[in-house]
Amino acid sequence: MKRRKFLKNASLSGIGLALGKSLTSCAETTPSDSVISTLEVASLPLVIATWDVKNATAKAWEVLQNGGSALDAVEQGCRVEEANEKGQSVGKGGLPDRDGNVTLDACIMNQNGDCGSVVFLQNITHAVSVARKVMEDTPHVMLAGSGAEKFALQKGFKKENLLTEDSKKSWEAWKVKSEYSPIINIENHDTIGMLVIDKGGNLSGACTTSGLAYKLNGRVGDSPIIGSGLFVDNEIGAAVATGLGEEVVKTVGSFLVVELMRQGKSPQEACEIAIRRIVDKPNSNYKNFQVGYIAINKQGQTGSFSIHQWFSMTKFQQGKNETIQSEYFNKDA
Ligand code: GLY
């Protein structure tokens, strides 16, 4: 979409105007319950996740149906993909760094704004659950590397070799040329991020990844960085990112999406503006990498947008579990 058209769309269709307020005045106002109650609320609960991960959204839905919280739902949903050895970008079976180490990043955030995160975690499949333990059982937000692993083992997590035979073979094939091309797309689906709004309208989110395949040893991406890979504000909404983490970190992407929603943008508009923030940077190399966002607001409206084609969002609502292709920026490819 051309810039002028994009800006026009963005300025005409915000929730702020739907409410008869200017976007500027919305930006200065904290939405009150009375403002929110004038908006149509989507059918709740609602689960969304990055990419085509219907097993994961189905698990989250099941947790909600059985009386679990939004936090339980995002954790259990993410665990499905962490345990899926065929997925080579999350948990067990994730592609390793260039030295052959599988290192995981994950975070989780609840409706009260509490959060927990692990970075460079090795030998533990369920990074998202370790992140939840960091949130609930420590005074900290983030644990890294051997400290995170030691903490996980103390909490009863099982030590496992995360490098499967398939991922080892892929790594050995990569080593022949050792070419590093960090484009992330459908074949290498990257981070699983999940956002849930429960029937009471309360939000939680989580994300988990093994990060970029064949990254430098020690590299950490956006996924465990609160505000970059994930942000939840129970007054406003939540957002989660996938794709090249460095670009998400440089624009504090998920926080940006939530703050745009605070200013009256719909989740869709907010995701689009956050992607434009990346591609409009001077000397942006966006043709060579993917970033995608999904977002949800307090009314249960959702949005997703990416730089390139083939990003998708899975949505579970009213008993229907479907994967929806996202709109995207680069139509020239
Ligand atoms: N988005 C995952 C990463 O860059 O590590």
pLDDT at site 130? 98
Domain ranges for the chain, please list them.
Answer: 33-327
Give the pLDDT confidence of 201-239 residue by residue, as tens digits.
999 999 999 999 999 999 999 999 999 999 999 999 999
How far, in Å, is the centroid of ligand 1 from the Cα of 318? Answer: 31
pLDDT at site 7? 28
Report how many helices (DSSP H) and strands (DSSP E) the chain contains, helices first: 12, 13
**pLDDT grade for 290, boundaries at 50, 70 and 90:** very high
Q: Which atom of ligand 1 is nearest to the CA of 215?
A: 5
Write the residue with the smallest CA distance to atom 4 of ligand 1: 245
How far, in Å, is the centroid of ligand 1 from the Cα of 167? Answer: 17
How far is it, in rounded angstroms, from Cα 309 to Cα 74? Answer: 26
Is residue 311 over pLDDT 60?
A: yes
Vertex 46 angle, CA 43 and 52, to 5°: 130
Q: Which residues line ligand 1 (CB under 6 A)?
A: 190-191, 209, 211-212, 221-223, 242-245
Please list, in sequence order, all residues whose beta carbon lies within 8 angstroms of the beta carbon of residue 150, skipping any fewer than 6 positions away.
Answer: none
Cite the active site residues.
Answer: 191
For the ranges 69-83, 108-122, 167-181, the lowest mean pLDDT is seen at 167-181
**Ordered DSSP codes for 22-63:** -HHHHHTSPPPHHHHHTSPPPPS-EEEEESS-HHHHHHHHHH
pLDDT at site 18? 29
Q: Which atom of ligand 1 is nearest to the CA of 244?
A: 4
- By most ligand atoms within 8 Å of CB, the mutation choice from 97, 121, 212 for ligand 1 is 212
**29 residue type, one letter:** T
pTM for this model (two decimals) = 0.87
Q: What is the domain class of 33-327 according to CATH?
A: alpha beta
Give the pLDDT confidence of 9-56 residue by residue, as tens digits.
332 232 222 222 232 333 333 444 444 444 678 899 999 999 999 999
How far, in Å, is the centroid of ligand 1 from the Cα of 247? Answer: 9
pLDDT at site 259? 98
Is residue 184 over pLDDT 60?
A: no
